[in-house]
Amino acid sequence: MSSKHVLSSLTHASDDTEFFTPMPSAYEPGKTKYVVVLGTVMSGLGKGIFSSSLAKIFKDKGLSVSPIKLEGYLNRDSGTLNPHRHGEVFVLDDGVECDMDLGTYERMLNMDLSRLNFTTSGQIFSSVLDKERQGKYLGRDVQMIPHVTGEVKLRLRELAVATEADVVFVEIGGTVGDVENAYYIEAVREMAFEEGRENFCFVALTYIVEPKILGEQKSKPAQMNLKQLNAAGIHPSIIACRASGPVAKKVREKIALFSNVPMEDVFSMHDSDSVYVVPEMLRGAGIDSTVLKMLGLTDRTDIKAEEGARKIWANYIARFRSAANPIKIGIIGKYTAVRDSYASIIQSVEHAGAYLGAKVQLEWVDSTDLNDDNAGQQLDSLHGVIVPGGFGFRGVDGKLACIRYAREHGVPYLGLCYGMQIAVIEFARNVCGFTHANSTEIELDCPEPVIDLLPDQKKIEGLGGNMRLGGFDVAITENTRAYSLFGNREHIRLRFRHRYEVNPDYIEKLESHGLVFSGRSPVAPIMQILELSPDKHPFFMATQAHPELTSRPLDPQPMFLGFIRAALQRSGVDASAIPTLEMNDTPHHQSSDTAAPRA
C-alpha cells in the first residue's frame, strides 16, 4: 500500500483497518517537510545546537521553520526538575516551563516559541487517556501502537498547520535505546512511511570517544548505536560526529561503511569556541545543500537573503572573537557544579560581551562557601557579580554576604529573580535597620517579611505550574537607569518565573532609604526592577524577571549590556573606548519573529 493511500485511509482505527492517522483538518500531506534529529551513545551531545543551526540556515534562505522538542520523561513540563539533573528550566513567553534546548532555538532563530514547540511523554499519555475516557477510540483497546504513536504524529502535524512551516525540525531528547524514547522513534518512522521519504530527513548525532590511554579516536560505540538505530527502522541520511577535536577521515570512513551513509554526509561537529559558529560549520560541510536536495527545497531558497543574513551573523562572530578587554564576572549560586543550570546567563553574558568588546571570563562561586568574613577575599578581584534565580534557603547567607560586599564596595551587581529578593532582604537589614527582615520562603513566620508570597499564590497548593510564569509587561519609571537602558521606553516586556515578591507594606520604607523601584507591574503592586541611583553605585540593579531568557546574539539584553559596560569600567577601560548602548542597534524590546500560531 502506498504512503498516499495510508494518509487517505480512515483517521481512526476500526475493525476494517489498522491504520491510525489522526490528522488536523487543514493539514496538507507533503506541504511541510520534516528534519528529525536523534542522539546515540550519550545524551548532551548538542542535538539542539545542530538542529537549531540547520534551522537557522534554512531560515536565512527564506524558508519558514518551526522546531519541536520531544522529551521522554513523564513530567507534564520541566517546572519541577532539579537543575542538577536536567539543566536550567527555560520559560516561554506563554508561560510554558520547558527544556533548555528551547532557549537554544529561540536564540539561534530569533523566534519566540510557544507550547506547541515542546512535548513530553506526560503530555502525550495524558492526552491519550483523556481521549480514551471520552470514547474517541471507538471501543478499541488503547495501545502504544497505533494510539500513542498516533498522538505524537498529531502533535507534529498540528505544529505544521499552526505555524505554516516549510520545515519542522523534530528533536528527540535522550538517546536511541532509552526505553522512554522508543515510541517517539516508532512514531517518526511511521510518519516517514505515511508522508513519503522525500518529505523526511533523519540526522543522527553520535560520539567519537578518545581514551587518553590510547591517544586515538575510536568509533566502535558509535557503530553499535547506529546499528541499533537502523534496527528501529530509522536509516539516517546524515551523521554528525561529536568530538573534542576534528574527527579523523579514517574514523568517518569507518562510520560511513557501517551505517550505509555516504562519506560526504558524515560530518565532524567538533568542539568550538561558540555554539554560534556551528551554522557556518554546517555550510562548510555542505550539509544544508544535502538536506535541501533530499527534501526538494533547493528551488525555494533565496540566495540574496542568505548572503545578507550570513554577513550579519559573521559580524557577530568577528566581534566575539576580537573582544580584547578581559573582565572577570562571578556567578554566585548553589548549582555552580552544573554549568547547564545557568545556560541562558552564560549566553547572555557572551552576547553583551561581544557587543561591547569584552572578553568575559566567568568565575563560579558556590554561595554555600561564602560569608561576611571571606566575601572580600573571594569577590574583590571580580569586575562584576551576578546572583541568579533559585529556590529555598540553602546558600542564602552566602548570597547576602555577596550582595552586601558588592553594594558597599561599588562592585557592579546584577540580581536575577531570587537575586532581587535577596537584594531587598540585604538592603532592608543593613540600610533600613530591619534586622529581622527575611522572606517567608526562608522563614515562614519571620517578623519582618519584606518578601512574601504573591497574593494569588497563597491559595494554590503543589509545585508544578503554579508560579507567575511567562511574559508580562513592565512599566518603567522615567529618569532611572532602567529607563535609559531600555531606550527611554515607558513599557517593556520581560519573562517571569516566581511565587514571591516584594511585600507592598515595605515598599515606601525601602524607597525612603534610597532603594529605587524603577520597574513595576502596570496592573498590580508588584515590583519588577530595582536599582541604586548612579550617584550611589556604579551599577546596582536587580529584577524579579529572568532577562537572560530573552537575550539574543544579535540583540543583547539591555540589563546585561549595562552590567558588562560597568564591569569594563571597573576593570580600567575608559568609558569613551566602550561602544555606546544604542538601542537602535539592539532592538531587544521590539518583537521578534514568532513560531506561535498565525492568525
Query: Which positions are catalytic?
Result: 417, 546, 548
The CA distance from 431 to 408, in Å, is 10
Assigned C-alpha cell, 173: 531528547
The CA distance from 555 to 582, in Å, is 11
Given a contact cutoff of 8 angstroms between Cβ atoms, the answer to whether 365 and 395 are in contact is no
Q: What three-state secondary structure class fits 477?
A: coil
Distances in Å between the Cα of 561 and the Cα atoms of 46, 90, 310, 379 are: 27, 21, 24, 21
Q: Which residues contact 69 (CB under 8 A, 6 or more apart)?
A: 48, 98, 99, 101, 102, 105, 117, 118, 119, 171, 173
Name the DSSP letter for residue 397: H
For 26, counting Cβ atoms within 10 Å of its Cβ (0-12 exposed, 13-18 middle, 19+ buried), the class is exposed
Q: Give kind and range of the element (H or E) at residue 349.
A: helix 343-356
Given a contact cutoff of 8 angstroms between Cβ atoms, the answer to whether 40 and 90 are in contact is no
In sequence order, what E strands does 532-583 have? 540-543
Half-sphere exposure of 267 (CA within 13 A, CB side): 26
The CA distance from 485 to 173, in Å, is 38
Q: Which residues contact 300 (CB under 8 A, 6 or more apart)?
A: 62, 63, 166
Amino acid 154 reads L
In sequence order, what E strands does 334-387 have? 358-366, 384-387
The DSSP result for 85-145, as a single string, is: HH-PPEE-TTS-EE-THHHHHHHHHTEE--GGGEEEHHHHHHHHHHHHHTTTTTTPPP-II
Q: What three-state secondary structure class fits 403?
A: helix
Sheet containing 65-71, strands listed edge to edge, beginning at the edge strand earlier in sequence: 118-120, 65-71, 167-172, 33-39, 200-207, 238-243, 266-270
Distances in Å between the Cα of 502 and the Cα atoms of 180, 334, 451, 495, 521 are: 42, 22, 5, 17, 12
Distances in Å between the Cα of 576 and the Cα atoms of 296, 324, 480, 533, 563 are: 52, 15, 21, 21, 16
Residue of 275, 254, 318 lying closest to 50 (CA atoms): 275
Angle between helices 47-60 and 101-109 (to 10 degrees): 20
Residue of 155, 186, 163 lying closest to 38 (CA atoms): 186
Pairing type for strands 437-439 and 448-453 reads parallel
Pairing type for strands 111-112 and 33-39 reads unpaired
